[in-house]
Amino acid sequence: MKKNRFRKSVAIAAGFILLSAALIRAQSGSRSLARTQKVQSSEAHPKRDSLPTDDFAGLTYSDEQKAEIDKIRQDTKVRKDAVVRDEKLNTDQKDAMLQGYTRIEYSRIYKVLTPEQQMQVRQRMRARREADQAAQKKKSPRNQN
């Protein structure tokens, strides 16, 4: 029982550290980077958020896994809603916090998976990254000599 409390405390502390790092990184970025991010189309945000969900799509979960994943998603939703309502944070800070919570959510879901399911997710992620890199190469101008 005490070990579980300790593990939860460590997990929460690690989450806050990650979120703090994300906030610091977001704040320390140059203005040109911020302008570049604002210029990006609004399609970039939903696409980025939907990709990891696709990595988990199609897996067959046990009842215990479904319950644990639902619990993780509810917990994350509550935290994200609190960030969205927080008037003390600016847009960049909110985006960083939301991305941090999303990453934490996906890592927690990944830990619930069986080793076989984890391997499937890793393969999907690798394939998605390769496809993204190939698409990026096609988009980039060919100024190479």
pTM over the 0.75 mark: no
pLDDT at 55: 83
CA distances from 36 to 29, 51, 123, 142, 143 (A): 11, 22, 31, 21, 21
Say if residues 48 and 69 touch (Cβ distance below 8 Å). no
CA 80, CA 19: separation in Å to the nearest integer? 12
Longest Cα–Cα distance in the chain: 64
Mean predicted confidence (pLDDT) in 45-55:
53
41: left (phi over 0), alpha (psi -120 to 50) or beta: beta
Joined together, the tokens standing for residue 80 give 């994200």
